Amino acid sequence: MDLMQQFRDMRKKQEAYSYVMSVVGWDSQTEAPRGTFPRRADMLGLISAELFKLSTSQEYQDAVYGLFERLDELDDLSAREIKRAKKELDKVVKIPENEYVEYGKLVNLSQRLWEDAKANNDWDSFKGNLAKLIEFNRKFVKYYDPVSPAYNVLLDDFEEGMTMELYDEFFGTLKRDLVPFVRQVLKEGKPLKNDFTLNSFDPEKQKEFCDYLIDVLDFNRDHGLMKESVHPFTWNTHPSDVRFTTRYLENFVFSSIFAAIHELGHATYEQQVDPKWTDTELSGGASMGVHESQSRFYENVLGRSKAFWEAHYPKFQELFPEETKGISLDDFHRATNKVEASFIRVEADELTYPMHIMIRYEIERMLFSDELEVDQLPEVWNQKMVEYLGIEPKTDSEGVLQDVHWSAGLYGYFPTYALGSAYAAQFYYKMKEDLDIDELVRTNNIKAINAWLQEHIHQYGKSKTPKELLLDVTGEEFDPQYYVKYLKEKYSALYL
């Protein structure tokens, strides 16, 4: 169809703009000196204005909406593309321009306000903006979906197909089946020494170890690299160009290692997406949840397994002979799985992590259902921390103010983090039927695991929805019991 080709050509040109802006972003986040900011903002402003023009042009709208009206004439995948394109377009063109601009300013301002509020433990200075941001989001979703509950629209934006109903079931399961277990581990768990991990580890040697891990995990260096940044992240523009970062903290050696493995998981996914989806709406990882399932699989299932350290603790000892003196393989492996009730989500361990997400989901859900006022957030937050983790934040900075997301206007995003871990567990039990994972890890044959993931998950990009992927890979619908089972098996063995 001619219109489809026009659509693709226009889209590809937009990709080129996104591409150059992404490279500028990578540069800015990994090496550009401090003083380069104003000029970059100026130049990127002009380029992104051009991209905005292209991606909202009448010509592009005619193509997308025209094709959307003829969805039944398109093959399945083209139809899926057009649905995605239409959804994205709606989000921009259905919102009145003045409101869109006003919201952009509000987000900018709110992020600065939040930074100060967090630094000064000053919730009151931020809460007004938070209320406004939420109001904007409620209003905006109505423009492109006047029917569904606002929070459902947001949840679906971040993870296609997800709703409050589904998440309620998910988090309900965790609340019922996991919370008591977590509290048991925290209370009765065998003590574990990990003090040694907070000693000084030469950052250069940490770097050498992370570089070694790149080959261990069989990451393709022809199409990717690892670099440093303040906050670790994965960056990609195409399967042939996927990069990630970690950071080296002298007194927190696990930070560099597990951030590297985590990001490498995201990056391997992107490298293994079939390049045939390039320039279509179906390129890149399937969803945030599925992406997180991969990073968590590499980080927690592989990277924190006994088998992994049986294979690689010797290398670590070789690099850090003094620092590992008297630390057995067993000590070391257990230290990588230290469980602890803590206030800060991004520092939480694998077992307590979903508790942090549950709190955020429940609060967002109540906010968007008018069951909670912004004013009440700190109190509710702290109550839930006590309920799920048995500890109470002493300040809002280590409580309700800790995350950047809400100040950036992101609601419905958090639950994908926990969903990812749950997907990972369900994939894991399926993979175990096909592969002897421990043996492959122990014998340093991650290639076979990567190949399995490519065959069953990675290659498809967004051509399957998360729901379809789960079903095709595991033969079942999403089932959070796998996650509960995985955590209980693993942490019972380690702690009880």
Close Cβ partners of 86 (under 8 Å, ≥ 6 residues apart): 64, 65, 68
Smaller CB separation from its own copies, 46 or 346: 46
Closest CB 226 distance from its own copies, rounded Å: 11
Closest CB 21 distance from its own copies, rounded Å: 7
- Name beta bridge partners: 224: 242
Smaller CB separation from its own copies, 25 or 149: 25
Close Cβ partners of 276 (under 8 Å, ≥ 6 residues apart): none
Q: How do strand 241-246 and strand 234-238 relate by DSSP bridges?
A: antiparallel
Q: Which of 351, 377, 391, 375 lies closest to 496 in space, CA to CA?
A: 351
Closest CB 224 distance from its own copies, rounded Å: 6
Closest CB 436 distance from its own copies, rounded Å: 32
Which residue has 């069989």 as its token pair? 218
Which residue has 């459902």 as its token pair? 152
270: its two tokens: 């992107």
Smaller CB separation from its own copies, 49 or 71: 49
For the chain, the distance separating the N- and C-terminal CA atoms, rounded to the nearest angstrom, is 63
Closest CB 29 distance from its own copies, rounded Å: 12
Residue pair 428/484 in contact by the 8 Å Cβ criterion? no
Q: What gap in Å lies between CA 474 and CA 456, rounded to an integer?
A: 9
Smaller CB separation from its own copies, 35 or 321: 35
**Number of continuous H segments (helices) and E segments (strands) in the chain:** 21, 3
Closest CB 442 distance from its own copies, rounded Å: 30
- Residue type for 463, please? S
Smaller CB separation from its own copies, 241 or 438: 241
Smaller CB separation from its own copies, 19 or 52: 19
**263 noted as active-site residue:** yes
Closest CB 281 distance from its own copies, rounded Å: 17
Under DSSP, the state recorded for 232 is -
Smaller CB separation from its own copies, 115 or 241: 241
> How far, rounded to the nearest angstrom, does the alpha carbon of residue 451 sit from its chain's CA centroid?
22
Smaller CB separation from its own copies, 83 or 227: 227
Which spans in 320-404 are helix H? 329-335, 353-368, 377-389
Catalytic residue among 81, 263, 270, 292: 263
Using CA of residue 297, residue 303, residue 306, residue 308, what is the dihedral sign? Answer: positive
Closest CB 222 distance from its own copies, rounded Å: 4
Contacting residues toward its own copies, per CB under 8 A: 12-13, 15-17, 19-21, 23-24, 26-27, 31-36, 38-40, 42-44, 46-47, 50, 220-225, 227, 237-238, 240-241, 278
- Residue type for 313, please? Y
Give the 3-state secondary structure of residue 199: coil
Phi, psi angle pair for 470, to nearest 5°: -55, -50
Residue pair 398/344 in contact by the 8 Å Cβ criterion? yes
Q: What gap in Å lies between CA 495 and CA 187, rounded to an integer?
A: 10
Under DSSP, the state recorded for 146 is S
Phi, psi angle pair for 353, to nearest 5°: -55, -50
Q: Which residues are catalytic?
A: 263
